[in-house]
Structure 1
C-alpha cells in the first residue's frame, strides 16, 4: 500500500482559510442587489405593510397595498433578471437546514409585523401602521443586504 502523508504547515492552512473567506465574501457581494434596488424593494414592502395596516372598510389604502405589491414584484423580478444576466443564480429555495431555519424565523418575524401592525391599528393605535411599515422596510433592507444568500452563517463575517 502506498501511504501518502503530507503535513500541512500552519501558514498553508491559514492562507487556505483566508482564501476561502475571500471567496465567500466575494460570493456574498456578487449576490447583493444594488443599494438603489434594495431600497426600492424594501420601501415597497414597508409601504405594503403600512397600507394593509391602515385599510379600514372601503378606504383607498388598499390601492397603496396593490401598487406596493406590484412595485415589490417588479423589483424582485428585476433583481433576478439582473442576476441572471451577470451569471449569478440567487437561491430561491432553501437548500440547507440553517437556510430553512433562517427563512422560517424571518417569515415568523415579518408575519408578526403585518399582523400586529394591522390589529393594533384597528384597535385605535394610529401610529402602529407607521411603525410596522418602517420596521418592515428597515428589516427587509438589512436582511437583503447583509444575508443575500439566505444563510445567516454566511453573514457572520464582520470584515465586509
Structure 2
C-alpha cells in the first residue's frame, strides 16, 4: 500500500496531506512556492533538494482519475502581492510558458513527495483585485502533444475528417 493510499484510507488520523504548488517559468529568476495554511515549511523535492514553501490561502481541486484526453484544473492562491503580477507580466512579455507543479506530501514525512509530482501548463493566469491569483491549468493534454502533430491529417488519414 502506498503512502497516499494509507492517507486516503484513514489509517492514522494524525497524518494528513500537504499539497504544495510551485509556479515556474523560464523568464523568471525565481519561482512561486506555496502551501495551504499560515506556516512556512521547508520541503524536499524528489531530487533531494530542500525548498522553502510559503504558507498562503490556497484552494486546490485534485485531478480526477479518468481517461479524459484533457483535464482543466483551476487553482486559487490568496495573499499574493504585486510581485506575482510582475512575474506574470514578464512571462507574457517573453511569451514563455508558465508551469505549475503539484506535489503531495504526508505530514509525517516531508523528506520526499508521497506521490509523483504533476506538472501542468498554465493556460490563463489572472490576478484579481483582491490579491488572489487564479490559475487555470491543462493536465494530460494528449490532443496537443507534439508527437501527434503532423501525424493525423486529412491527407494521410482521411477518417480524421469524420471526427
**Normalization by structure 1: what TM-score?**
0.27
More strand by share: 2
Larger radius of gyration: 1
More helix by share: 1
